[in-house]
Amino acid sequence: MNTGEHNLLGLPRTDLESFFSGLGEKPFRARQIMRWMYRRSVLDLAAMTDLSVALRASLAEHVQLTLPPVQSRNESADGTVKWLIDVGHGQVIETVFIPEQNRGTLCVSSQVGCAMDCPFCATGRQGFNRNLSAAEIIGQVLVAIRDLGGTGEASPVSNVVFMGMGEPLANFRETVRACDLLTDDLGFGLSRRRVTVSTSGLVPQIRKLAEHSNVALAISLHAPDDTLRDELVPINRRYPIAELLTACWDYARATNSRQITFEYIMLDGVNDQLAHARKLAELLRDKPAKVNLIPFNPVAGTPYGRSPQAVVDAFRAVLIEHGIVTITRRPRGDDIDAACG
Ligand code: SAH
Ligand code: SF4
């Protein structure tokens, strides 16, 4: 796929306006073409009938509107769909659609691989290859919407979460560009509460995000004390829990967010004891926080296993006793190996 300057996909609105000005066209052409690309999911220039024939011909010479090719598509018995998308040079990323009763969540990747090295994570095991461009991030959304038979206006995708491969805040610029297009009225028009950036806890970037965006924030906490978190989420050695949580509360205040989501993978016998739950409750009580308990998807070559359901239920009960909203995520797409992370 061409992700260079000639791919109009993923360009911020202002850059697109400058592009049209450069062609001697009015800036409102940017709005027209955005409407075609994102609201109507149309990438064929010939079909963009409110652009003059001459402009369409000139665009066809100068630009591309290309999506990365899909290498494979798998659909789970529960309706979850996983696409493997080819981003060139033998590199493949994962995008997953999770249909639920009242929403459809798309889990997108932000990098090929990841440098954060969390020992339970398949992407972390693979190491870091490269950042994805905004075109490649937004491209995943378009691939999914088109494949599922919708358009941006009548979209099966109601929520987008950056919980696929990669650490989105380590790819700051392209992540923010993608978030802007997801929430732009001329882009996908999603409410900011329906776009979630999930991070392992890059504190300076969380602070910077508050200056550039106000999307929902999720933190992969996974442990209630620094000793355990140093092991499970190694970036914690640089940005320990107290610093991370302060940045979270500041983010919630700066962006006027109702709450921050804390993801907590339940690892059998590692972080799933009642003492862990009580410590976690101490950290989060009376704060703008909710907890997602995540069933672990076993990864070959790691020593971790999934906590039994009774253990998860007991852990959740402690948090709820302390007044913390806690959701247990159901395992989805197990049969196609499609869970996030
Ligand atoms: N790098 C970011 C976003 C991608 S990971 C982050 O870590 O937040 C998205 C979520 O999937 C994280 O909470 C991550 O910890 C979780 N995850 C990773 N591997 C997993 C696995 N094997 N089973 C369940 N969740 C996993
Ligand atoms: Fe990277 Fe997130 Fe996996 Fe950690 S859990 S290695 S930060 S993708």
Our answer on whether the CB atom of 304 is closer than 6 Å to any ligand 1 atom is no
Our answer on whether the CB atom of 113 is closer than 6 Å to any ligand 2 atom is no
User: Cα(206)–Cα(338) distance, rounded to whole angstroms?
Assistant: 27
Contact 333, 296 (CB under 8 A): no
Q: 200-213, pLDDT tens digit by residue?
A: 999 999 999 999 99
Confidence of residue 339 (pLDDT cuts 50, 70, 90): low
Q: 40-52, pLDDT tens digit by residue?
A: 999 999 999 999 9
Please tell me the predicted confidence (pLDDT) of residue 4.
41
Please tell me the predicted confidence (pLDDT) of residue 336.
75
- Pick the more confident residue, 15 or 338: 15
Q: 77-128, pLDDT tens digit by residue?
A: 999 999 999 999 999 999 999 999 999 999 999 999 999 999 999 999 999 9
Confidence of residue 133 (pLDDT cuts 50, 70, 90): very high
- 340 given a catalytic annotation: yes
- 94 given a catalytic annotation: yes
Q: Give, rounded to a whole angstrom, the gap between the first and last alpha carbons of the chain.
A: 24
194: left (phi over 0), alpha (psi -120 to 50) or beta: alpha
Q: 222-244, pLDDT tens digit by residue?
A: 999 999 999 999 999 999 999 99
Our answer on whether the CB atom of 220 is closer than 6 Å to any ligand 2 atom is yes
Our answer on whether the CB atom of 307 is closer than 6 Å to any ligand 1 atom is no
Confidence of residue 334 (pLDDT cuts 50, 70, 90): confident
Which ligand is located closest to the Cα atom of residue 107? 1
User: Cα(331)–Cα(338) distance, rounded to whole angstroms?
Assistant: 10
Compute the distance from residue 12 Cα to the ligand 1 centre, in Å: 28
- Asked if pLDDT for residue 30 goes beyond 70, the answer is yes
Residues contacting residue 308 through CB under 8 Å, at least 6 positions apart: 268
Confidence of residue 256 (pLDDT cuts 50, 70, 90): very high
329, with CB counted inside 10 A (0-12, 13-18, 19+), is middle
Which structure tokens are listed for 223?
Answer: 């442990």
Our answer on whether the CB atom of 167 is closer than 6 Å to any ligand 1 atom is yes
Compute the distance from residue 301 Cα to the ligand 2 centre, in Å: 16
Compute the distance from residue 54 Cα to the ligand 2 centre, in Å: 47
Please tell me the predicted confidence (pLDDT) of residue 3.
37
Of 25, 94, 167, 174, the catalytic one is 94
Which ligand is located closest to the Cα atom of residue 297? 1
Our answer on whether the CB atom of 94 is closer than 6 Å to any ligand 2 atom is no
Please tell me the predicted confidence (pLDDT) of residue 152.
76
